[in-house]
């Protein structure tokens, strides 16, 4: 909705939509800058957090920081789970690197003895996507050798031609790289092995993996050295002050007709639980509702119940609708605890289910169901074996649902 003064609604609820004002996250950005200063890269970055907490927009905001410091940036969005196989990862890698190397040529190699055809690395053609893919395919050995060869060749060319500091590889939704032990396809292990090996050889690449909280445990499970190789930033809800910034800064322009008093700001902050997606969603609704009421000559107020109902329909209901009756029963048990959004353990749910359900769950059944819910991104298991909802404030939503 655009106002009579032409001031458009600035709030941007959505996946990866840059907010009108990026609140907080200074510590994470500082940490990233520190990592960029490494002479030999040993530490890399993991960004994790619940759905909608701001991983993608933070990742995007790191790109200019890296560029300013002379790093090249190769970014990949892995949200298509199907694309996260070894061979697709190779194609993506070549495509991203080609954007950095497309116009650059390798110096012509010294002539070889007669009878030896030049290898794919040894021409002075520009390092286009096709060339990089050819290098990948024609490098002998294991997939990890092929990966390393492509990255190394690209880096040699970039370094020789434009004095870059290094290359940042940023993978969003990286939980989709999970290795499937039943398959021979190990994209996550491959990425970790290739990166670690190149870093040891002094190639300045820096890896950022961003994804749901399942990501880091998966990485450590795939390769125990991941624990030493990464700094983990767990993005949490915004603090009270940051929440206020996220709400107020986008409307502080003098031409903005919306003014919020302290009470309204506090109410929005409370309803959002400090979660960025909810802040954007609620503020967008409040902006429109306030202006409508002002136009109608009424006193503006935050229409809390209407907004909550809309949020339930737009954000939560779809996820809830895809569950089976038994899965809903189990999640209701979890949400019936004193703190609906706090962590829970299998044993705790088994006990609670005996108290609240006619047909309680056995621990082994719960274990199995939580596994299925985790693979659908609804819950996640931390390294101590406790579970949480991967969707913020899901417990509160479940409580609002009746028994059906
Ligand atoms: N620090 C912030 N301040 C204000 N708004 C933010 C902030 N971080 C994120 N947002 C807003 O929150 C919403 C969700 O952000 P984003 O898509 O980056 O989350 P995400 O963690 O990547 O979610 P998902 O797990 O679903 O991929 C967007 O509308 C974005 O504009
Ligand atoms: Mg995201």
Q: Is residue 165 assigned to a domain?
A: yes
Looking up residue 352, the CATH number of its domain turns out to be 1.10.10.10
Q: Is residue 329 assigned to a domain?
A: yes
Q: Tokens in use for 251? A: 């409307």
The domain boundary, picked from 234, 269, 303, lies at 234
Q: Which residues pair with 388 in a beta bridge?
A: 380
pLDDT above 70 (res 68):
yes
395 lines ligand 1 (CB under 6 A): no
What percentage of the chain has pLDDT greater than the value 90? 67
8 secondary structure, DSSP code: B
Q: Please give the C-alpha separations between residue 68 and each of 28, 36, 64, 72, 207, in angstroms, as whole numbers.
A: 17, 11, 6, 9, 17
Q: Tokens in use for 352? A: 């609670």
Atom of ligand 1 nearest to the CA of 19: 31
pLDDT tier at 287 (50, 70, 90 boundaries)? very high
The residue segments making up the domain with residue 371 are: 322-400
Count of structural domains within the chain? 3
Do residues 64 and 192 share a domain?
yes
Q: Is residue 21 assigned to a domain?
A: no
- Name the nearest CA neighbour of 36 among 79, 4, 66: 66
User: Which ligand is the nearest neighbour of the Cα of 77?
Assistant: 2
Looking up residue 195, the CATH number of its domain turns out to be 3.40.50.300
Q: Is residue 17 assigned to a domain?
A: no
106 lines ligand 1 (CB under 6 A): no
Do residues 84 and 121 share a domain?
yes
Do residues 52 and 127 share a domain?
yes
Do residues 313 and 327 share a domain?
no
Do residues 135 and 55 share a domain?
yes
- Which residues, at least 6 apart from 390, have a Cβ–Cβ distance to it below 8 Å? 50, 51, 212, 213, 214, 374, 377, 378, 379, 380
228: how many CB neighbours lie within 10 A of its CB?
A: 9
Q: Is residue 18 assigned to a domain?
A: no
Average pLDDT of the residues in 246-274: 92
Do residues 168 and 63 share a domain?
yes
Do residues 68 and 211 share a domain?
yes
The domain boundary, picked from 317, 338, 372, lies at 317
pLDDT tier at 404 (50, 70, 90 boundaries)? very low
Do residues 331 and 313 share a domain?
no
Residues, CB-to-ion distance under 5 Å, ligand 2? 55-56
Ligand 1 mean position, distance from CA 188 (Å)? 25
* Residue 44 host element (H or E): strand 44-48
pLDDT tier at 300 (50, 70, 90 boundaries)? confident
Q: Is residue 47 assigned to a domain?
A: yes
Do residues 229 and 281 share a domain?
no
What angle do the packed helices 86-101 and 187-200 form, to 10 degrees? Answer: 40
Q: What is the pLDDT of residues 98-137, one digit of tens each?
A: 999 877 766 655 555 555 454 545 556 788 899 999 999 9
15 lines ligand 1 (CB under 6 A): yes
Q: How far apart are CA 65 and CA 62, in angstroms?
A: 5
Do residues 301 and 327 share a domain?
no
Q: Is residue 2 assigned to a domain?
A: no
247 lines ligand 1 (CB under 6 A): no
Q: What is the pLDDT of residues 160-177, one digit of tens each?
A: 877 789 999 999 999 888
Q: What is the pLDDT of residues 321-374, one digit of tens each?
A: 999 999 999 999 999 999 999 999 999 999 999 999 999 999 999 999 999 998
The domain boundary, picked from 208, 234, 260, lies at 234
Residue with tokens 């790191």: 62
53 lines ligand 1 (CB under 6 A): yes
Q: How far apart are CA 355 and CA 332, in angstroms?
A: 12
Do residues 336 and 228 share a domain?
no
Q: Is residue 15 assigned to a domain?
A: no
């Amino acid at each position: 909705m655009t106002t009579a003064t032409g001031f458009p609604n600035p709030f941007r609820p959505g996946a990866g939509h840059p907010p009108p004002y990026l609140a907080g996250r200074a510590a994470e950005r500082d940490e990233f800058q520190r990592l960029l200063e490494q002479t030999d890269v040993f530490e890399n970055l993991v960004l994790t957090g619940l759905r909608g907490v701001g991983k993608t927009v933070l990742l995007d905001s790191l790109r200019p920081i890296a560029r300013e410091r002379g790093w090249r940036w190769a970014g990949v969005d892995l949200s298509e789970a199907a694309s996260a196989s070894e061979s697709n990862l190779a194609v993506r890698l070549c495509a991203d690197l080609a954007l950095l190397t497309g116009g650059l040529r390798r110096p012509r190699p010294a002539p070889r003895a007669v009878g030896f055809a030049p290898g794919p690395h040894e021409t002075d053609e520009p390092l286009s996507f096709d060339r990089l893919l050819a290098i990948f395919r024609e490098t002998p050995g294991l997939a990890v050798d092929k990966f390393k060869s492509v990255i190394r060749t690209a880096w040699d060319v970039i370094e020789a031609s434009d004095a870059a500091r290094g290359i940042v590889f940023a993978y969003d939704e990286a939980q989709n790289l999970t290795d499937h032990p039943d398959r021979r396809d190990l994209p996550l292990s491959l990425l970790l092995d290739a990166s670690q090996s190149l870093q040891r050889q002094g190639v300045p690449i820096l890896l950022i993996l961003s994804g749901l909280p399942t990501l880091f445990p998966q990485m450590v499970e795939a390769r125990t050295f991941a624990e030493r190789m990464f700094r983990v930033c767990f993005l949490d809800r915004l603090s009270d002050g940051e929440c206020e910034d996220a709400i107020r800064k986008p409307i502080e322009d003098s031409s903005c007709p919306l003014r919020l008093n302290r009470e309204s700001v506090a109410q929005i902050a409370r309803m959002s639980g400090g979660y960025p997606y909810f802040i954007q969603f609620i503020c967008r609704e409040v902006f429109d509702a306030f202006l409508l009421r002002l136009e109608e000559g009424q006193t503006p107020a935050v229409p809390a119940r209407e907004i909550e109902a809309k949020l339930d329909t737009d954000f939560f209901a779809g996820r809830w609708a895809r569950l089976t009756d038994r899965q809903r029963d189990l999640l209701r048990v979890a949400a019936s605890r004193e703190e609906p959004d706090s962590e829970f353990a299998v044993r705790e749910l088994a006990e609670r289910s005996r108290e609240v359900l006619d047909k309680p769950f056995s621990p082994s059944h719960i274990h199995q169901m939580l596994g299925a819910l985790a693979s659908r991104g609804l819950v996640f298991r931390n390294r101590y074996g406790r579970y949480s909802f991967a969707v913020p404030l899901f417990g509160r939503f479940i409580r609002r649902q009746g028994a059906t």
